[in-house]
Amino acid sequence: MALCGNVCTKVALHVKQRSGTESKHRSPKKTKALHISCAAATDELRISRVFTDLKAKKQCAFVPFICAGDPDLDTTAAALRALDTAGADVIELGIPYSDPLADGPTIQAAATRALKNDVRVETVLDFVTEITPTLSAPLVLFTYINPILRMGFEPFVEKVAASGVAGLLVPDIPLEETVILQELTKKAGIELVLLSTPTTPDARMRSIVDKTSGFLYLVSVTGVTGMKSTVESRVEALLGGIRAYNSDIPVAVGFGVSNGEQAAQLEEWGADGVIVGSALVRALGEAATPEEGLASMTALAEELRAALPCRD
């Protein structure tokens, strides 16, 4: 995965500043609460519970992705409800960002359209606060690290926790720099989902498996998101390697999945979940009207859900 060139420097600076503040204002024996309600942490984590329930039913999770604000927030709300009704098990919602390094042209275009509509991080957080109570499926926010750094780790996680979001996925933060997010999200009852790619060395993959929460996001291709005509056969071996190390962690495969046949192939190879983004984003955001986009996206979502039936 491509990384912002100054991410490590910015995160390291934040850690240093935060440590300095703590040394001045916090007793070494009693640490002040990080302004985050820990009530959620006492509940069973929603994403983990979904995968546990699906495993018992021998069913693969359907995890759709759409971009907030494309073509507008009213349509995003309708799309989230439609995906929920269509049988999504977990839903990813992308916060639009001007430099989405992990995303291909379809999602980049969606983010550009949303930004032109003045959809920003704060806008999305306010929006999900209203929409999450209406959804059965837990919501995972997908965002890059720079918007978090601009807001600050603690204020960002506090707002995410208050919004009812169940998980967080940050594709461009290095594993070594996730310590603060892991600490804060764990206290807030939010599951921090980490990614592994085809080029991730085995030792690093094991560390990622040990640190991820909810599920492991296995990237199926080398490169960015986008629709592919076939699923790369090496994904089966990647799944096998992860299983050989840890057979308990759920693994959801994403990047390049665009139809029911591909989803069924991934399930056959042992994926616990299938993540579909670009195909749904294109169906929703590139239609002539929002109504046509919703109809097209819903039809594709229903095809994908039907390709992943319960195996009881």
Nearest to 138 by CA among 229, 236, 53: 53
- Is the separation of the CB atoms in 269 and 235 below 8 Å? yes
Length reported for the chain: 312
Rounded-to-integer distance, Cα 192 and Cα 208, Å: 11
Judging by beta carbons within 10 Å of its beta carbon (0-12, 13-18, 19+), is residue 297 exposed, middle or buried? buried
Catalytic residue among 70, 84, 89, 103: 103
Q: List the catalytic residue out of 70, 84, 92, 177.
A: 92
103 in catalytic set: yes
**How many CA within 13 A on the CB side of residue 191?**
26
Other CB atoms within a 10 A radius of the CB of residue 109 amount to 17
34, 187 Cβ separation under 8 angstroms: yes
Beta bridge partners of 62: 274
Residue 66 is encoded by which pair of tokens?
């759409």
Contact between 290 and 71 under an 8 Å Cβ cutoff? The reply is yes
Across the chain, how many H-helices and E-strands are there? 13, 8
Phi, psi of 260 (to 5 degrees): -65, -35
Strand partners, 191: 167
Catalytic residue flag (residue 183): no
Q: Which residues pair with 193 in a beta bridge?
A: 169
Catalytic residues: 92, 103
